[in-house]
Amino acid sequence: MAISAASSDPTPLAPGAPRSGTTFLGLPTAPRGVGHLRGTQSFPDAARTALRDGQLRANLGRATTTIRGKRAAVVAEVPHWEQLRQAGKALKAATMARLDEHLEELERQVTARGGTVHWARDATEANRIVTGLVRATGSDEVVKVKSMATQEIGLNEALEAAGIEAIETDLAELIVQLGEDSPSHILVPAIHKNRSEIREIFSRTIPGVDPGLTDEPRQLAMAARTHLRERFLCARVAVSGANFAVAETGTLAVVESEGNGRMCLTLPQTLITVMGIEKVVPRWEDLGVFLQLLPRSSTGERMNPYTSLWAGVTPGDGPQDFHLVLLDNGRTAVLADEVGREALHCIRCSACLNVCPVYERAGGHAYGSVYPGPIGAVLSPQLTGVEDNASLPYASSLCGACYDVCPVAIDIPSILVHLRAEHVEAQTRPTAEAVAFRGLSRVMSNPRLWHLAQRAAGLGRFLARGRPTLPAALPPPASAWTRTRDLPTPPGRSFVQQWTEEHRS
Amino acid sequence: MSAREEVLGRIRTALGEHRPVVDVPPVPGPRSLAPAELLDLLAERVEDYRATVLRCAPDEVPASVVRGLDLALGEGWAPADVVVAPGVPAAWRPSGSPEDDGRPAVELAAFAATLTGVATAIAETGTLVLDGSPLSGRRALSLLPDVLVCVVEAAQVVPDVPDALGRLDPVAPLTMVSGPSATSDIELQRVEGVHGPRTLVVVLAG
């Protein structure tokens, strides 16, 4: 398996430098120093560490194989799946084209039904708004429904700094939080942990847990139920994300499985929902398309166990104080790119992660962002500016499996190539790779040089010593290529030599 | 400039003057099923989630509710263990079971089981939809007790998700329920029963 890498030392762009010549409109990307969109290492460096972890690879291989099979079975059941997918794609594109109008309508409808709408330019502002809202209730803890947006902005850390405890209630998020770990998958943040590792985390961190706890999944789920039950019943404030928000009715939707979402959305007095601006859909009936596409693509079920829909405040039922925080944090910069904006269509199902040969081997942490896998490789660099996630557009073999399974048909491979071009064009001095390819281009356009080069390449057979690939430990600059790719041993005779010999007579 | 004005302004800048016009292709409707097939499909799909389905004639609902509670709670349960949504017809209720009287939501956790009706049910996906009406009850009612018994009448069953949305009030507090509470968070294998009701019984009348 060859994972292509960016040049080892990409020339960094100045902050705020143009994203590309044609689409640069000066729109700010997600700020540095807050949230979880940037890793500390480049993808190839992080992946190298992950690839050495045999347990991680076994866990990921088992889990993604299971979910791929389930998804394929329930998708095959829907005869008009492709039409649904194209409808989903078109609905998203149509929504983005009128995004400002839909958000204004959403704001009107939510407000008319007793909710309060807040706008956040970026992660820092969203964290400040949520912290202020929690403080105003006098509570020093919040229960949380799993939410990618709040992971993205680093809300838990911001709350902690303000002396507010954030309790993750989704089982996988709880495993990650108790294990002081970070999420590695959009749907199942603890996908990198197997049952016995989870049993170990629970035994170590849950006060009063049954000492006889086994690694049977049902027992582990029951331990989480017992641990969180009291917290749900006492909670005064909940924080959630949103899967969809219907502009014309002001209806918010949260799709979940365990019932922890329902607990958070129903029992506390105050509910704060943080939602990326791209999650709005114009009409109530649009949910009919997305609620068919999402569960089958995500957990491989015909429908997830619980979907909660609410509009503002309902007297006598659920939270009486509802706040909706609309988050930009780089999304408008993505919207400015006519090719890249399709990444905003993502409904966070994670099907692209589960089929990706790179994700399956490297795992989610290697991507350095809360959005891993193929969609993360196109979304994270656009949210931060490609200079801050320069290696991610190269974290793909461009096999296209992600495009095939995407429920809203996002052409991820084309966006990856587009971002690679953007990254290359932004280089102020030529990289070693660019120089090498320029040389190669000259050689390949001249038959005499090409024959000489082929003959010279035959020397590689000595280095290979009969193996099908050359050793990875070639000296620089060749090592920059072979470190992350298999270089095939040159054949004994080239195609041209064989052709000439066979056709001599 | 306020954050609102700034974010909206950024969107307008990003989209420019020439916004794309997108045609949304129509989605084919659900497969056409005879009424009996619709109920068969719903029953099959609900059972797939490892919920219990009890089918009966409309006048047998009370007996089926009792049987469902026997199965879920074990024989010997008391009517006082079961809390009933206020709009559930008197005939369906176990005699002596209290009605949800609007007490603080967390107190509902003391009951062993809940009995409600539904707003609609989706055959293709095996989904029940509760809408916060007196028949469905408020959201906490179908959440806190560990057993949920729902009565579905034949006329409430629709083929697929879009049909259900057409019957629902978008501003009501809605809960779509597809089987008992479950998780796939451990090795992506489905385990039934986490925070919501661990047992779901559907009485399908008609």
Q: What CATH number should be reported for the domain holding residue B93?
A: 3.40.50.10420
A106/A237 same-domain check: yes
Q: Which of A120, A284, A302 sits opposite B45 (nearest CB)?
A: A302
Confidence of residue A287 (pLDDT cuts 50, 70, 90): very high
Task: Determine the pLDDT at residue A470.
Answer: 78
CB contact under 8 A, B188 and A66: yes
Q: Which of B4, B160, B195 sits opposite A228 (nearest CB)?
A: B195
For the ranges A144-148, A463-467, B88-92, B188-192, the lowest mean pLDDT is seen at A463-467
Residue A13 has pLDDT above 90, yes or no: no
CB contact under 8 A, A306 and B14: no
Q: What is the pLDDT of residues B143-156, one digit of tens each?
A: 999 999 999 999 99
Q: Which of A80, A118, A305 sits opposite B178 (nearest CB)?
A: A305
| Under 8 Å between Cβ of A309 and A101 | no
CB contact under 8 A, A292 and B191: no
Residue A407 has pLDDT above 90, yes or no: yes
Determine, yes or no, domain membership for A32. Answer: no
Determine, yes or no, domain membership for B182. Answer: yes
Determine, yes or no, domain membership for B1. Answer: no
Confidence of residue B8 (pLDDT cuts 50, 70, 90): very high
The string of DSSP codes covering A149-171 is HHHHHTHHHHHHHTT-EEEE-SH
| Under 8 Å between Cβ of B120 and B111 | no
| Under 8 Å between Cβ of A423 and A6 | yes
CB contact under 8 A, B194 and A259: yes
CB contact under 8 A, B173 and A217: no
Highest-confidence segment of A174-188, A309-323, B28-42: A309-323
For the ranges A21-25, A150-154, A195-199, A387-391, the lowest mean pLDDT is seen at A21-25
Residue B112 has pLDDT above 90, yes or no: yes
Residue A437 has pLDDT above 50, yes or no: yes
CB contact under 8 A, A84 and B24: no
Determine, yes or no, domain membership for B16. Answer: no
For the ranges A62-76, A313-327, B16-30, B85-99, the lowest mean pLDDT is seen at B16-30
Determine, yes or no, domain membership for A363. Answer: no
Domain encompassing residue A483: 432-502
The residue of chain A nearest to residue B200, with distances taken between CA atoms, is A305
**Mean pLDDT, rounded, for A144-152:** 96
Q: What is the pLDDT of residues A88-107, one digit of tens each?
A: 999 999 999 999 999 999 99
Determine, yes or no, domain membership for A279. Answer: yes
The string of DSSP codes covering A59-84 is HHHHHHHHHHHHHHHHHHT-TTHHHH
Between A14 and B21, residue with greater pLDDT? B21
Determine, yes or no, domain membership for A60. Answer: no
Determine, yes or no, domain membership for B53. Answer: yes
Residue B126 has pLDDT above 50, yes or no: yes
A99 touches chain B (CB under 8 A): yes
CB contact under 8 A, B2 and A119: yes
Determine, yes or no, domain membership for A477. Answer: yes
The residue of chain B nearest to residue A84, with distances taken between CA atoms, is B27
Q: How many domains, chain A? A: 2
Q: State what percent of residues in chain B have pLDDT above 70.
A: 100
Kindly report the nearest CA distance between residue A48 and chain B, in angstroms: 23
The structure's pTM equals 0.91
Domain end, chosen from A277, A295, A327, is at A327
Mutate to test the interface with A, among B8, B42, B186 (most CBs of A within 10 A): B186
**Mean pLDDT, rounded, for A300-310:** 97
A392 touches chain B (CB under 8 A): no
The structure tokens 């939707």 sit at A253
Q: In degrees, to the nearest 5, what angle opens at C-alpha A439 toward C-alphas A438 and A443? A: 120
Confidence of residue A505 (pLDDT cuts 50, 70, 90): low
Domain end, chosen from A310, A327, A344, is at A327
Which residues 13-42 on chain A approach chain B with CB closer than 8 angstroms? 25-28
Phi and psi dihedrals of A274, rounded to 5?
A: -105, 125
Q: State what percent of residues in chain A have pLDDT above 90.
A: 79
Task: Determine the pLDDT at residue A496.
Answer: 82
A139/A275 same-domain check: yes
Kindly report the nearest CA distance between residue B26 and chain A, in angstroms: 7
Mutate to test the interface with B, among A91, A215, A302, A327 (most CBs of B within 10 A): A302
CB contact under 8 A, A292 and B13: no
Q: Which of B3, B10, B162 sits opposite A125 (nearest CB)?
A: B3
CB contact under 8 A, B187 and A318: no
Task: Determine the pLDDT at residue A464.
Answer: 78
Q: What is the pLDDT of residues B185-198, one digit of tens each?
A: 898 888 888 999 99
The residue of chain A nearest to residue B107, with distances taken between CA atoms, is A233
Q: How many domains, chain B? A: 1
Task: Determine the pLDDT at residue A23.
Answer: 42
The mean pLDDT of chain B is: 96
**Mean pLDDT, rounded, for A192-201:** 95
Determine, yes or no, domain membership for A283. Answer: yes
CB pairs under 8 A between A and B: 250
**Mean pLDDT, rounded, for B157-166:** 97
Residue A110 has pLDDT above 90, yes or no: yes
CB contact under 8 A, B3 and A119: yes
Q: How far apart are the C-alpha atoms of A377 and A394, rounded to whole Å?
A: 8
Tokens found for residue A139: 């509570």
Residues of A in contact with B195 (CB under 8 A): 169, 225, 228-229, 232, 258-260, 262-263
- State whether residue A201 is helix, strand or coil: helix
Residue A390 has pLDDT above 50, yes or no: yes
- State whether residue A8 is helix, strand or coil: coil
Q: How far is CA A82 from CA A289, A348, A405, in A?
A: 12, 19, 10
- In sequence order, the 6+-apart residues with CB closer than 8 A to the CB of A4 are A394, A395, A396, A397, A484, A485
Residue A12 has pLDDT above 70, yes or no: no
A320/A441 same-domain check: no
A124/A256 same-domain check: yes
Determine, yes or no, domain membership for B95. Answer: yes
Q: What is the pLDDT of residues A307-317, one digit of tens each?
A: 999 999 999 99
Phi and psi dihedrals of A393, rounded to 5?
A: -60, -15
Domain encompassing residue B79: 33-205
Domain end, chosen from A309, A327, A345, is at A327
Residue A2 has pLDDT above 80, yes or no: no
Q: What CATH number should be reported for the domain holding residue A258?
A: 3.40.50.10420
Residues of A in contact with B105 (CB under 8 A): 266-267
Residue A400 has pLDDT above 70, yes or no: yes
| Under 8 Å between Cβ of B73 and B81 | yes
The string of DSSP codes covering A84-145 is HHHHHHHHHHHHHHTHHHHHHHHHHHHHHTTEEEEEESSHHHHHHHHHHHHHHHT-SEEEE-
Between B92 and A21, residue with greater pLDDT? B92
Task: Determine the pLDDT at residue A1.
Answer: 38
The string of DSSP codes covering A272-293 is EEEEEGGGEES-GGGHHHHHHH
Determine, yes or no, domain membership for B26. Answer: no
Which residues 285-304 on chain A approach chain B with CB closer than 8 angstroms? 285, 287-289, 291-292, 295, 299, 301-304
Residues of B in contact with A93 (CB under 8 A): 20, 22
Between A432 and B172, residue with greater pLDDT? B172
Amino acid at A165: E
- State whether residue A308 is helix, strand or coil: strand
Residue A253 has pLDDT above 90, yes or no: yes
For the ranges A64-68, A456-460, B67-71, the lowest mean pLDDT is seen at A456-460
A220 touches chain B (CB under 8 A): yes
Task: Determine the pLDDT at residue A413.
Answer: 98
Task: Determine the pLDDT at residue A8.
Answer: 39
Determine, yes or no, domain membership for B14. Answer: no
